[in-house]
Amino acid sequence: MLTKRFDAALTYASGHHRRQLRKGSGIPYVAHLLAVAAIALEMGADEDEAIGALLHDVVEDGGGPAALADIRERFGAAVATIVQANSDTDVEPKPPWRERKEAYIDGIAHKPVAAVRVSLADKLHNARSILQDYRLHGEQLWSRFSTGSGDDVRWYYAALAAAFTARADELGPGARAALDDLQRTLDQLDALTGR
């Protein structure tokens, strides 16, 4: 069962991301956070993981180390560990895109299982959104990404899928459906883009 801690985390996340929209859309960013939390819960996440899902982008999206310390104080060390593991950087300006993504992928092998479940939920929702947006906007979609290349984005998600699959047994039975859904989504994207 979820407690008032989850409610407090939702308020915290909503407040932090209140002025943000999903890339290239008019969709409030909190929709992504709710989706990631829902996917994580459907995989069997506990409350710490669900809270981590709500807060997974706070540090990376402008909160930095101060926000991580605040999250640790408010929601505990387990949540802070999940959030930190799901932040590809807290440095401004951000390092080059490829460098950050390669480090993130390499890190999946060593991250705590709870953090990997949240990462899988995050990347599955992102992949679904990319597929939906590609159907609406076609190749123009790739200009939203800092890499600017559909090939780079597809490389990243294929590498993520492989890294998650390597840890499938540890992620528990609830994660299998999410892994299958991620692969189906990527296959559909490849089919649409002619790759």
CATH code where residue 179 lies = 1.10.3210.10
Which amino acid makes up residue 169?
D
Q: Return the C-alpha torsion angle 23, 27, 40, 184, nearest 10.
A: -70
The better pLDDT of the pair 194, 169 is held by: 169
Rg (CA), the chain: 16
Query: How many whole angstroms separate alpha carbon 22 and alpha carbon 13?
Result: 14
State the residue range of the domain holding 101: 4-193
| 162, pLDDT greater than 90 | yes
Average pLDDT over residues 121-142: 94
pTM (2 decimals)?
0.95
What is the pLDDT, as a whole number, of residue 94? 81
Count of other CB atoms within 10 angstroms of residue 159: 16
- Looking at the 3D structure of the chain, how many domains does it have? 1
Average pLDDT over residues 30-42: 97
Q: How confident is the model at residue 166 (pLDDT cuts 50, 70, 90)?
A: very high
Query: How many whole angstroms separate alpha carbon 160 and alpha carbon 140?
Result: 23
| 195, pLDDT greater than 80 | no
Average pLDDT over residues 168-181: 95
Average pLDDT over residues 20-33: 87
